[in-house]
Amino acid sequence: MTNKKESFLINRIKSVGFAFKGAFLLLKTEASIKIQFCIALLVTVAGFYYNISSNEWIVQLLAIGLVMSAEGMNTAIEEIANFIHPERHNKIGLIKDIAAGAVFIASIFASIIGLIIYLPKIF
């Protein structure tokens, strides 16, 4: 019995579906990404209000994408660490702290970008 291999296009469509499912799960279940999503909406509204330039939009969107992607990776790392070792363990704690630190670094730089873009427009 041979299985008919699915086409490249069908596999890509399925992959996009899984990605949407993952993004939806993040937004539905993770408090930190909900906050980041709200901040993203606020700075997007601010971008329209202050009529930021194309380059400022590009940098702002990259910063938003970086922070939210890092948060998604952090969540995935935490989930797999909890699955592998559900009890408290120093090494698992270190791994989780490092992943959270990556999100923190991305958030700090995104905040600096926001200040660079909006402080001159506000004051």
From the CB of residue 111, how many other CB atoms can be counted at a distance below 10 Å?
A: 13
Cβ distance 27 to 34 under 8 Å?
Answer: yes
Cβ distance 121 to 50 under 8 Å?
Answer: yes
| Per-residue pLDDT tens digits of the chain, which is 123 residues long | 545 677 899 999 999 999 999 999 999 999 999 999 999 999 999 999 999 999 999 999 999 999 999 999 999 999 999 999 999 999 999 999 999 999 999 999 999 999 999 999 999
Cα 18 to Cα 11: distance, rounded to the nearest angstrom:
11
